[in-house]
Amino acid sequence: MYTNDQMQIRSGLVNYIGALMQSSVDDAPTSKQQVISILIEEAIKLSQDEDSLCDMHAIKPILRSVTFIFEQRKKALSELPQDKFILDTLERYDNIIRDLNVVLSVI
């Protein structure tokens, strides 16, 4: 799927990410958020056309990642005692996941 050149460049990107993490003066959760923010902002810029609109096909991996994150969160919430708040939240996650999957299926 990936070429050797891409794998070597990816390795360099991993080193870059590590350098970003080490350069942060904030605590670990905040520095992780800052690094992820930088990466996502650059990915969004890369996906935009000359009118600043995102190419939906280009951002498909981001949408898949969001679906994955929400599925993980839903699983974690489903292991908690099932009060009304948790059940309502699980339903919201179900709706978001379903809607994202519909969007992904038409891209």
23-53 per-position pLDDT tens digit: 988 888 889 999 999 999 999 999 999 999 9
pTM of the model: 0.82
**Helices 60-78 and 28-47, packing angle to 10 deg:** 140
Q: Mind listing the pLDDT tens digit for each residue in 62-88?
A: 999 999 999 999 999 999 999 999 999
Q: Where are the domains of the chain?
A: 1-47, 50-107
**How many angstroms separate the CA atoms of 96 and 69, rounded?**
11
Whole-angstrom distance, CA of residue 38 vs CA of residue 25? 16
